[in-house]
Amino acid sequence: MRGWAGAYGTLAALTLARVAFGFQLQTVASLGPELARAFGMDFATLGTLMGLYMIPGVLVAIPCGFIARRIGDRDVVAAGLAMMAAGSLLSAAATGPWGIGAGRVLSGAGAVAMTVMQGKIMSDRYQGRRFTMLMGVLVGAFPIGIGLAQLLQHKLATAYGWPAAFIAGCVAALLALGSFLATWTGAPHAAPRTLAWPPRRETALVVVSGLIWTAYNAAYFNFLSFMPSYLAAHGHPVWVADTVMTFATWGNMPAILLGGALASRFGPNRVFVAGTLLCAASVAGSAVLDMPLLWGAVFGTVASMHGGLIIEIGTLSARPENRAVGMGIFYTTYYLGGAGLPALCGKAADLAGDPVGAFLAAAGLSLLALPFYFWHRSWARARA
């Protein structure tokens, strides 16, 4: 009974950690108008602050995998959650963009440590369809955090000042840390702790799967990041912004679980292609037709149904004994692209003189997921 409770307790704690991750990541986007007024930021600067949360992944993800092999998964995740809390406090105490950015880097490094280990922890405990379903829960928890951020952070900033939103992110990380430490139990069939690099074939497959995740999130993050500024610039009331972000985030978890079920019935290729095209269409459509409620609903439901498939591909591209380092490689690839894409899309918005430029750039980048996906599939079959 203790093992069952511990395994699902760990899942619940990691789910809460993913909610905290999304809540923290969205903070700059949610506070975009407030921070722009307070510090005179343009879209490119805001995009840079958004991307700073991703930058630590370039340097931290692979070392986290090796460190976990030496000291264990539990300590790496706990340290990561503590860093997420500390970084949010640092941003809350900042007096300018540099201080906010420093806190974002620290929090981002902690989020990397937690994220790198989640797939490995789940794959040590579950296999088959149960693994697919539970990874869908973890992936779907992240946008719930983004949705909570969009609903709550502006209100906190209005009532108590913008630092209150960062303090709320600290509290979320501390709650996740406490629940994780309280429920952790070792995996019954954990891989041995070694320090070997995965073989070239596994490394290549993991890198390509990381590129798929990067392309997927080009649309995902930039839609959520620039939508508040778009709605403000086009004169939409606050209730529209709240509704759009609710549609765009809260529907993700059931959509991802639905995607897993559809993949079992119709095959992952069809689900992936349909999800990618719908995702790009909903983001690009936001730039063409001023119908944010429609695009938010499409984006938050069917357009996100393939997200869990990508994480499953990345996790299973490496053998169990190589999975900690393999996920480090996966997220290093992702963060290399993810750190620069918000600034790139922000630059597109500046050139267009409107956030619609960011939407068009993000939609185009997201379509790169298709060739990367089929490259991975063909290579995996050829090398099997």
Residue by residue, DSSP assigns 197-246 as PPPHHHHHHHHHHHHHHHHHHHHHHHHHHHHHHHHHHTT--HHHHHHHHH
Give me the pLDDT at residue 263, please.
84
Query: Which residue ranges in the chain fall short of pLDDT 50?
Result: 1-4
Give me the pLDDT at residue 196, please.
65
Give me the pLDDT at residue 383, please.
58
Tokens of residue 158, six digits: 């209005």
Largest CA distance in the chain: 59
Cα torsion angle, 53, 58, 62, 63, sign? negative
pTM: 0.79
Give me the pLDDT at residue 226, please.
84
Cβ pair 280, 366 in contact under 8 A: yes
**How far does Cα 49 stand from its chain's mean position?**
16
Half-sphere exposure of 158 (CA within 13 A, CB side): 9
Cβ pair 150, 26 in contact under 8 A: yes
Nearest CA to 225 out of 345, 306, 311, 337 is that of 345
Question: Which one-letter DSSP state was computed for residue 303?
Answer: G
Homologous superfamily assigned to 2-383: MFS general substrate transporter like domains (1.20.1250.20)
Half-sphere exposure of 275 (CA within 13 A, CB side): 32
Hunting for tokens 């340290």 — which residue is that?
Answer: 79
Length of the chain: 384
Amino acid at 105: V
Question: Which one-letter DSSP state was computed for residue 1?
Answer: -
At 155-212, the pLDDT tens digits run 899 899 999 999 999 999 999 999 999 988 776 655 555 556 778 888 889 999 999 9
DSSP track, 131-157: HHHHHHHHHHHHHHHHHHHHHHHHHHH
